[in-house]
Amino acid sequence: MDAVAGLLDGPRARGAFLLRSLLAPPWSMRIEDEAPLTLVPVVHGTAWIGMDAGPGPDEPRLDAHLVAGDVALLRGPRHYTVADAPGTPPQMVSDAVGACRAVGDQPSPLVDLGVRTWETTPTVRPSC
């Protein structure tokens, strides 16, 4: 068995959670779901992922810039932020029970459209 087959076979995708996001800058989502494995495909545009440092005091924060066609594979349970640019403060947090909440006292600019879809404005649509 090769490494990729072992990776995909091991988790068996039980309890999978899917989320579709149609976002216009500025946007940022803090993910604290502690999932053992996460795939983040970028279909249109770009995104930055900042993964928290590991448990060791000398482990660096891991940042990656993704462009359309890239797929990030994240191994949990570390928390991470997905944003339009480095330093954009999180506007919502997704926690370990799948609940999403706005950050601070302001309402989140992210709108829940149902069926696992989030959007910054109803007018944002990818061109296909």
> Which residues, 6+ apart, have CB-to-CB distance to 97 below 8 Å?
none
CA gap 126, 17 in Å, rounded: 22
pLDDT more than 90, % of the chain? 16
Confidence of residue 96 (pLDDT cuts 50, 70, 90): confident
Location of structure tokens 């949990």: 76
Contact 40, 72 (CB under 8 A): yes
In this model, does residue 85 exceed pLDDT 50? yes
β-sheet bridge partners, residue 101:
93
Strand partners, 50: 63, 81
On the question of a cis peptide bond just before residue 90, with omega within 30 degrees of 0, the verdict is no
Q: Residue 127 pLDDT more than 80? A: no
Please check the confidence at residue 1 and state whether its pLDDT lies above 60. Answer: no
Looking at per-residue confidence, does 54 or 102 come out higher? 102
Mean pLDDT within 115-121 = 69
pLDDT of residue 114: 67
Quote the CA–CA distance of 85 and 26 in Å, as a whole number: 8
Instruction: Please report which confidence band the pLDDT of residue 4 belongs to, taking 50, 70 and 90 as the band edges.
Output: low
Q: What percent of the chain has pLDDT over 70?
A: 64
Instruction: Give the pLDDT band (50/70/90) at residue 126.
Output: very low
